[in-house]
């Protein structure tokens, strides 16, 4: 059952890529006999990377590159517990090209250099997204002062130049991120609107982005990535219909990422079923941004701590962590599981959902939480059952 997952994880060490940049990793055909997954020396046997590697699963983390550079404890955890890294922000269009035509590859290159040094794969995040767009393109992801043709040209340039620049170094690209509204309609983004104004189907920008990315880096696995695909909903059904349409048009899409930003208040989703939904279309699937937020104690100064409000909520949080990893392990095509950050101090959650927090595996001082041990137990049980 684990064969194809092992093949993919094992075949893709960036260190291997450095000497063999044309390694075949396009899904779904895997022919070469790869080395065992992530047996490199810096991952201790009890690390998430090693244990997941025994199951053929890549275990990743979203990295804050400032912390990686400046905080030794953060760097130690990010480089020794995880077998892949995702740039939390530095590969997004806005941070990379704040001034039109002046592209800052530096922070992303530093992250990739760290990944190579530490035998980690890289998930590229993200080529086309309506959020964190550069102000010169669109201050809010919808409005623009450019003409529709200029928007399309800028998007083609962004996809082609970025994928070309990092060619051979990216395992999986989130090519298009969050293209749907909750009701399953396409988001009217600056990209969608430009295509419509050009007389094209608005959503054709998605197919174009995948084609341009594939032309630039034919060996990268190309993913569609979104949140709230974990529950069966109009949104996940729309994403499924889109994938079918792309496949029918021979668009090079290889995977779907379910982000996995869960909250205890909404109950646990039918995650396995919705991972399997995309696997059944012949695609790889991944949990790309897992964090699990819950209600936390006020700090007495109008803000909040990361102390979970009740023992019951803590127990629910731990059960959710367990459930996400078990769902991924139960679906053969689920090849990677990524957590959206290391410690609570750097989590995006409190800024967006005041009163919620404790969403990650390490606390604000980077001490392991019960959630971390829960995931290790899941991996240990799965290894025993192999």
Catalytic residues: 178, 289
How many helices and strands in the chain, by DSSP H and E? 15, 11
Is residue 289 near ligand G3I by the rule CB under 6 A? yes
Binding to ligand G3I by CB under 6 A, coded x per residue (else -) over 213-242, reads --------------x---------------
User: Which of 89, 264, 272, 358 touches ligand G3I by CB under 6 A?
Assistant: 89
Q: How far is the CB of 375 from ligand G3I (least distance, A)?
A: 20
Confirm or reject binding of residue 132 to ligand G3I (CB under 6 A). yes
Q: Does 259 bind ligand G3I (CB under 6 A)?
A: yes
What is the DSSP pairing of strand 284-298 with strand 356-357? antiparallel
Q: How far is the CB of 355 from ligand G3I (least distance, A)?
A: 17
Q: Tokens for 46? A: 């009890």
Nearest to ligand G3I of 43, 321 (CB atom)? 321
The answer to whether residue 284 forms part of the interface with ligand G3I (CB under 6 A) is no
Cβ-based nearer residue to ligand G3I, 13 or 126: 126
Alpha helix ranges (H) inside the chain:
3-11, 14-19, 48-54, 65-70, 72-80, 93-96, 106-117, 148-165, 190-197, 204-216, 234-248, 271-279, 311-330, 349-352, 370-384
Query: Does 125 sit behind a cis peptide bond, omega within 30 degrees of 0 on the bond before it?
Result: no
Alpha-carbon torsion, ordered 350, 354, 359, 360, to 10 deg: 20
CA dist., res. 157 & res. 155, Å (int): 5
Smallest distance from ligand G3I to CB 331, Å: 21
Residue with the two structure tokens 């955890």:
77
Strands 304-308 and 284-298: antiparallel
Q: Which of residues 174-203 bind ligand G3I (CB under 6 A)?
A: 177
Distance CA 9, CA 329 (A): 14
- Rounded to whole angstroms, the Cα distance separating 131 from 108 reads 18
Nearest alpha-carbon partner for 225 in 189, 267, 255: 255
Query: Is residue 42 within the footprint of ligand G3I (CB under 6 A)?
Result: no
Q: Return the number of the residue (17 or 63) whose C-beta is nearest ligand G3I.
A: 63
Q: Which is nearer to ligand G3I, 10 or 260 (CB)?
A: 260
Number of chain positions touching ligand G3I (CB under 6 A): 9
> Which residue number, 304 or 348, has a Cβ lying nearer to ligand G3I?
348
Task: In angstroms, give the least distance from the CB of 186 to ligand G3I.
Answer: 17
By beta carbon distance, the residue nearest ligand G3I is 348
In the region spanning residues 320 to 359, those forming contacts with ligand G3I, defined by CB under 6 A, are: 348
- Tell me the C-alpha distance between 81 and 61, whole Å: 9
Q: Which one of residues 54, 88, 240, 344 is an interface residue with ligand G3I (CB under 6 A)?
A: 88
Contact residues toward ligand G3I (CB under 6 A) are 88-89, 131-132, 177, 227, 259, 289, 348
């Amino acid at each position: 059952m684990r064969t194809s997952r092992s093949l993919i994880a094992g075949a893709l060490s960036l260190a291997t890529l450095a000497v063999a940049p044309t390694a075949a990793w396009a899904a779904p055909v895997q022919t070469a006999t790869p080395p065992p997954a992530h047996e490199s020396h810096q991952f201790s046997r009890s690390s998430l990377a090693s244990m997941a590697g025994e199951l053929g699963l890549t275990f990743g983390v979203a990295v804050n590159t400032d912390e990686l550079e400046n905080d030794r404890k953060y760097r130690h955890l990010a480089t020794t517990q995880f077998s892949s890294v995702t740039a939390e922000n530095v590969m997004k269009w806005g941070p990379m090209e704040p001034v039109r035509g002046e592209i800052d590859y530096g922070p992303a290159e530093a992250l990739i250099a760290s990944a190579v040094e530490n035998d980690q794969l890289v998930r590229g995040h993200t080529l086309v997204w309506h959020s964190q767009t550069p102000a010169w393109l669109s201050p809010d992801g919808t409005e623009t002062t450019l003409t529709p043709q200029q928007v399309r040209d800028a998007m083609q340039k962004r996809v082609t130049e970025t994928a070309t620049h990092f060619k051979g170094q990216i395992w999986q690209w989130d090519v298009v991120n969050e293209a749907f509204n909750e009701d399953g309609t396409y988001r009217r983004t600056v990209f969608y609107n430009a295509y419509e104004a050009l007389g094209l189907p608005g959503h054709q920008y998605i197919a174009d982005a995948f084609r341009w990315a594939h032309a630039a880096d034919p060996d990268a696995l190309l993913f569609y990535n979104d949140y709230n695909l974990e529950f069966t909903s109009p949104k996940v059904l729309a994403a499924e219909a889109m994938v079918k349409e792309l496949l029918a048009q021979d668009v090079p899409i290889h995977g779907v990422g379910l982000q996995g930003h869960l909250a205890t208040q909404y109950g646990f989703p039918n995650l396995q079923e919705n991972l399997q939904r995309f696997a059944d279309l012949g695609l790889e699937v991944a949990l790309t941004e897992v964090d699990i937020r819950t209600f936390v104690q006020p700090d007495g100064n109008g803000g909040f701590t990361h102390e979970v409000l009740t023992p019951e909520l803590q127990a629910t949080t731990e059960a959710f962590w367990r459930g996400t990893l078990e769902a991924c392990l139960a679906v053969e095509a689920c090849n990677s599981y990524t957590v959206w950050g290391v410690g609570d101090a750097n989590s995006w959650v409190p800024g967006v959902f005041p009163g919620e927090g404790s969403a990650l595996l390490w606390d604000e001082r980077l001490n392991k939480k019960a959630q971390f041990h829960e995931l290790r137990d899941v991996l240990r049980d799965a290894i025993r059952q192999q």
